[in-house]
Structure 1
Amino acid sequence: MHENKLKRKPLVSIILPVYNGEKFLARSIESCLNQTYQNLELIIVYDSSTDNSLEIIRSHANKDSRIKIINNVEKKNLPAGLNIGHYVAKGDFVTWTSDDNIFETIAIEEMSKKLCENDIDVVYCDMVIIDHNGEKVRDFVFLDLENIIFRNYIGNCFLYKKEVFERNKGYDENCFLVEDYDFWLRAIAHSRFYQLRKKLYRYRKHDSSLTHQIAVDNEKKQIFNESVIKMYDSFSKTLLEKDYLIIREFLSKSLTYQKITFKWIIDNESVINEFKQQLSHNINFQNKNTIEKVFLNKIVHLMVLDQGTKTNLSKSFYIVKKYGFFLDKKAIKTLIKYSFFKK
């Protein structure tokens, strides 16, 4: 009876790329296997490591037949490893995780339930930040999906139908370090997203993570910046036939913390307006008011960064004129502070 019940549930494929992950790997594997949702396969894509990762993987595979091991003879980058895992995945639904992070036991069940019950293609969740030792640092609640224009707000806990991967033609192997963000930006063109307001994942912050390496390693930072430009170039072209380079500049500089002057915003106002208009045609962004609020927050932030001794008040007038209908208390307080009390 139990087996028949499992067969009626969609198969979920969890892909786990591994490279030198021995420190946290066992806990990550266990979090995948110990799900309340049991009809799953765990595809471990192992890159040639210099630690004991393979021994840990084989030890778990000997105890659980749901584990499949793909042993790469040559080291692949992360998006290539993800593609390899997807190509052998048999699941109707797919997700992937990292060898240092942890699923909550109900994560797959809760997300698969939403994919089955709703007319959606991708479901994603909030998470808890943990430290090197696994202790909770803080909760992390993602902003609404419209904010994905400026930053990856899908996060690390998600589940999607296999067709999303197929329609996207996989992960772009030229977008290393932003492969997930690039994947989501391309997917919003054809797939419907759903934000599940539950914390179903524990994301570990530590010095060996790729996120940390981008911040401290100049070579990885350069790769990241180049990948960001490639990603936004592709995304901008899907929305604008001309002037897409202006939007690419706007988005890429915002993400990589490069200066954008307020004058640049004013000079390119018409292109930004056209970009917002095109966004509103997307199935995920049809609330124009929400889009305007996202851009309002970004432009207020740019005003704060682009300080001048005499122009703050005129910048505030511009923002009020353009976005007055969408101003909230926080934005109003910021405008007052930087118009009258900040030089």
Structure 2
Amino acid sequence: MKLVSVIMPVYNSEKYLSKAIESILNQTYKNIELLCVYDISSDNSLNIIQKYENLDSRVKLIKNQFKKNIVGALNTGLLISKGDYIARMDSDDISLSDRIKIQLEFLEKNSSYVLCATNASIINEIDEITRKEMYITSLENIPLEIVQLVSNGIAHPSVMFRAKVIKNANLTYTETGAEDYQFWFTLMKYGRIKRLPNVLLLYRNHSSNLTKSKIDKIVISCNESRIHFLKDFVKFNEDECKFFIQLSEGFILNQSNSKKAKQIGHQCIEKIFKTFNLEKYSWQESYKFLLAINFYNLYEKKLFKKLILSILNQIMCGKILLKLLFFKIKLKYNF
């Protein structure tokens, strides 16, 4: 029976910590170790962890001697984990009871995949669901590798990955401001990645979320990680990198049907499909997805002048675009 190590960094988490810990201990898959990496808190988090450690031998308290922040806490967890698989969990979220079982089954059956994430519902400070689905399940036919190249399609506390890949390659998180996004790019060099459509996590959105005050830094870091990966691993040239970054930010839409833009776009897709062995998927569908993402970014930024002027250029991605816009309406009205 495979052991799953669940890494949970803990810092000033007393308000939600018990629910997070119990959601892991109550998993239907029982062969787990819960590594609570305690990062010198000023609240009652330590006593809460110690209480559960005394109640259940699967709970392991790891106390940092000095404050390491989330990246240091994650790397501590990676270093001491003993499992065949490593799962992530945040100290303010809630995992649904079959989460570990379903992710483990997927990775056991699909040896070419190194990472398995899940969909999630977003909850507020009093556990009310404010968004039923974080991601658009109707676009699951688009390879996650392509989604990752234009946005982060992975909820960090929902992931499970193969421990042997981490251990053999000595992989660690790095302090970039978007440590998870960069880590996914690193893992993508070793195998496929997948996000299950199942909602298996309740992701808490509240005023003290770790990344709330770092949005600008995160955006810059994501672009840097994306460019490095595209150049180093996918072997994009300068024009292709520029095209992809502009596409992901919504600045190339008005020339998306120009001859040069089409040519560069097709080159990008071909290189991506070759890199990840995605031949069985339709590259045309993926190219439409990229254009739809570009269009959607303009919609989100309320750049309506560009939106209207370029709408005819986007006819080719109509079905995907409608799904994106419908998803936006669902989020707004929560149905």
Per the alignment, residue 95 of structure 1 pairs with 87
Distance in 1, matches of 2:81 and 2:107, equals: 18
8 Å CA contact 1:189–1:282 kept in 2: the answer is: no
8 Å CA contact 1:43–1:67 kept in 2: the answer is: yes
8 Å CA contact 1:280–1:291 kept in 2: the answer is: no
In the TM superposition, residue 36 of structure 1 has moved relative to its aligned partner by 1.2
Greater Rg, structure 1 or structure 2?
Answer: 1
Per the alignment, residue 237 of structure 2 pairs with 242
Distance in 2, matches of 1:264 and 1:79, equals: 40
Q: 1:331 to 1:109 in 2, by over 3 A?
A: closer
TM-score by length of 1: 0.79
8 Å CA contact 2:10–2:39 kept in 1: the answer is: yes
Which protein has greater RCO, CA pairs closer than 8 Å, 6+ apart? 2
* 2:223 is aligned with 1:223: no
- Deviation track 1:173-221 (CA, whole Å, cap 9, x = no partner) reads 1323x2222222232232122332321111111111124x2xxx3xx23
Distance in 2, matches of 1:185 and 1:87, equals: 20
Per the alignment, residue 191 of structure 1 pairs with 191
Equivalent residue of 1:78, what SS?
helix
Given the alignment, which residue of 135, 142, 148 partners 1:142? 135
Distance in 2, matches of 1:275 and 1:142, equals: 24
In the TM superposition, residue 77 of structure 1 has moved relative to its aligned partner by 2.8
Give me the identity figure in percent: 27
Equivalent residue of 1:232, what SS?
helix
Per the alignment, residue 42 of structure 2 pairs with 50
* 2:104 is aligned with 1:112: yes
Q: Which consecutive aligned stretches of 4+ in structure 1 deviate over 6 angstroms post-superposition?
A: none
- Deviation track 1:259-313 (CA, whole Å, cap 9, x = no partner) reads 625457556554443222211113374421332121120233366555548x955
* Structure 1: runs of 5 or more not aligned: 1-8, 335-343
Per the alignment, residue 227 of structure 2 pairs with 233
Distance in 1, matches of 2:64 and 2:22, equals: 22
8 Å CA contact 1:19–1:46 kept in 2: the answer is: yes
Given residue 240 of structure 1, which amino acid in structure 2 is its aligned partner? K
Equivalent residue of 2:287, what SS?
helix
* Structure 2: runs of 5 or more not aligned: 326-335
Matches within 5 A, 1:57-72: 57-72=49-64
Per the alignment, residue 251 of structure 2 pairs with 260
Alpha-carbon RMSD across the aligned residues, in angstroms, is: 2.9
Distance in 2, matches of 1:303 and 1:55, equals: 48
Q: 1:209 to 1:222 in 2, by over 3 A?
A: same
Deviates more, 1:157-166 or 1:82-91: 157-166
Distance in 2, matches of 1:278 and 1:232, equals: 15
Number of equivalent positions: 308
TM-score by length of 2: 0.81
8 Å CA contact 1:131–1:137 kept in 2: the answer is: yes
Per the alignment, residue 119 of structure 2 pairs with 126
* 2:319 is aligned with 1:328: yes
Matches within 5 A, 1:17-56: 17-56=9-48
Distance in 2, matches of 1:167 and 1:276, equals: 30
Distance in 1, matches of 2:226 and 2:182, equals: 8
* 2:227 is aligned with 1:204: no
